């Protein structure tokens, strides 16, 4: 018989959550790793091999949550605002902890654990914030931070001795030496701490804030697109996103909806463009000429561009590639 799960660990695969998982597993607890996938990478048929292999290396079962509409709703109006870029970290932490609590309740577990360290991040990991976050997530007393546990109030599961507090850590601050030393000593595999969330990236943040400002009615599908391509605002009613490489072309193939206007080169391989909104005839020509500009036939006098909607007949336009200055005028 499988042992009942006692705790859920929010597992990014990074150094801290890997150490947290190992500290708890070493106590013989039955655990479940929970990994959240940002909406940009959800619904694309990803196998999430990397995180699966890290969970297998940790010797623990894994559940993957691909985020969608609820995450998007949270980003649209974060109660605690954004960090430096488009990262609503406090709201995001609370949102994910609420989701985790639901899973904790569903599987009958007693606690949730994270790899958080007091004072590691300027805002979301200050002591006061840690307390506020757990309260708002409905996890007061049930949220364990194994890396800083001995500096924090004992949780219910420590008081009840389900978890041995003395075998947890007392780390604080931004240094990572202790975690690296622990990982080395125990042969732990983890993702490099350098990897970051797309919402903390300056370019993505600029695209997101421009999208939110210019197109207040934008949807989850529009939000997902900020992770990819070059973005152009052709007017109040329509915009264009052009893939930057083959990988983005492949992703575009998966995210094109029936309403999207698709642009690609008729005679040679090249970037795909996704048009969203209502296009006039002249805006279609502008978009086609911009797609041609970002292709390897940009210096040709005339380029043939296919324009179509999924499941509809295509139209071929023969156009002159746009002038780079004209493209820059529309860049978001
Ligand atoms: S960095 Fe990104 S994923 Fe992490 S808490 Fe902030 S918004 Fe959420």
Write down which residue in 158, 185, 212 finishes a domain. Answer: 185
Residue 199 in any domain: the answer is no
- CATH number for the domain that contains residue 85: 3.40.50.620
Q: Are 103 and 181 in the same domain?
A: yes
Rounded to the nearest angstrom, the distance between the alpha carbon of 295 and the centre of ligand 1 is 34
What confidence tens digit (pLDDT) does each residue in 253-289 have? 999 999 999 999 999 999 999 999 999 999 999 999 9
- Whether 164 and 298 map to the same domain: the answer is no
Say if ligand 1 is within 6 A of residue 205 CB: no
Instruction: Kindly state if the Cβ of 204 falls inside 6 Å of ligand 1.
Output: no
Nearest C-alpha to atom 2 of ligand 1 is from which residue? 197
For ligand 1, pick from 89, 116, 120, 198 the residue to mutate: most ligand atoms within 8 Å of CB. 89
Question: Of 185, 201, 218, which marks where a domain is finished?
Answer: 185
Q: Is 89 in the pocket of ligand 1 (CB under 6 A)?
A: yes
CB-based contacts of 210-219 (< 8 A; 24+ apart in sequence):
210/332, 211/332, 212/76, 214/239, 214/332, 215/239, 215/277, 219/72
Residue 30: inside a domain, yes or no?
A: yes
- Whose Cα sits closest to atom 3 in ligand 1? 197
Indicate if 148 and 11 belong to the same structural domain: yes
- Among 153, 185, 217, give the residue marking a domain's end: 185
Tell me, yes or no, whether 207 lies in a domain.
no
pLDDT attached to residue 77: 94
28-71 pLDDT per residue, tens: 999 999 999 999 999 999 999 999 999 999 999 999 999 999 99
**Which of 285, 275, 284 lies closest to 232 in space, CA to CA?**
275
Q: Is residue 205 part of a domain?
A: no
Query: Residue 326 falls within a domain, yes or no?
Result: yes
Distances (CA, A) of 161 to 19, 147, 156, 168, 223: 20, 17, 8, 13, 44
Query: Do 161 and 255 fall within a single domain?
Result: no
Domains in the chain: how many in total? 2
Ligand 1 geometric centre to CA of 78 (Å)? 12
Are 13 and 144 members of one domain? Answer: yes
The ligand 1 atom at the shortest distance from the C-alpha of residue 124 is 5
Pair 153, 44 in one domain: yes
Domain-located, residue 263: yes
C-alpha 88 to ligand 1 mean position (Å): 7
Q: Does the beta carbon of 200 sit less than 6 angstroms from any atom of ligand 1?
A: yes
Residues 126 and 25 in one domain: yes
Structural domain contains residue 195:
no
Give per-residue pLDDT as tens, 190-237. Answer: 998 655 799 999 999 999 999 999 999 999 999 999 999 999 999 889
Quote the pTM value: 0.92
Full residue range of the structural domain in which residue 300 is found: 228-330
Atom index in ligand 1 nearest the CA of residue 90 equals 5
Any domain includes 212: no
C-alpha 232/C-alpha 178 separation (Å) is: 46
């Amino acid at each position: 018989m499988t042992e009942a799960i006692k705790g859920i660990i929010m597992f990014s695969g990074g150094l801290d959550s890997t150490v947290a998982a190992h500290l708890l597993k070493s106590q013989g607890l039955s655990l479940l790793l929970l990994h959240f996938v940002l909406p940009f990478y959800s619904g694309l048929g990803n196998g999430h091999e990397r995180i699966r292999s890290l969970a297998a290396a940790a010797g623990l079962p894994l559940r993957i949550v691909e985020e969608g509409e609820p995450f998007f709703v949270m980003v649209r109006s974060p109660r605690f605002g954004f960090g430096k870029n488009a990262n609503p970290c406090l709201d995001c932490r609370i949102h994910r902890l609420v989701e985790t609590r639901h899973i904790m309740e569903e599987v009958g577990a007693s606690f949730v654990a994270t790899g958080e360290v007091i004072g590691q991040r300027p805002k979301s990991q200050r002591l006061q914030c840690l307390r506020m976050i757990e309260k708002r997530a409905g996890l007061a007393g049930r949220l364990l931070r194994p890396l800083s546990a001995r500096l924090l109030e004992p949780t219910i599961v420590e008081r009840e001795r389900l978890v041995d507090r003395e075998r947890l850590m007392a780390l604080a601050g931004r240094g990572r030496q202790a975690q690296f030393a622990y990982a080395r000593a125990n042969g732990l595999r983890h993702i490099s701490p350098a990897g970051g969330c797309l919402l903390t990236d300056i370019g993505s943040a600029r695209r997101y804030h421009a999208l939110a400002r210019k197109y207040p009615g934008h949807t989850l599908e529009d939000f997902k697109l900020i992770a990819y391509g070059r973005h152009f605002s052709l007017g109040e009613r329509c915009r264009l996103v052009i893939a930057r490489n083959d990988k983005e072309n492949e992703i575009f193939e998966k995210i094109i909806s029936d309403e999207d206007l698709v642009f690609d080169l008729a005679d040679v391989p090249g970037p795909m463009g996704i048009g969203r909104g209502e296009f006039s005839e002249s805006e279609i020509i502008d978009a086609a000429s911009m797609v041609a500009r970002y292709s390897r036939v940009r210096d040709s006098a005339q380029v043939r561009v296919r324009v179509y909607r999924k499941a509809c007949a295509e139209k071929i336009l023969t156009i002159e590639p746009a002038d780079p200055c004209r493209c820059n005028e529309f860049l978001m």
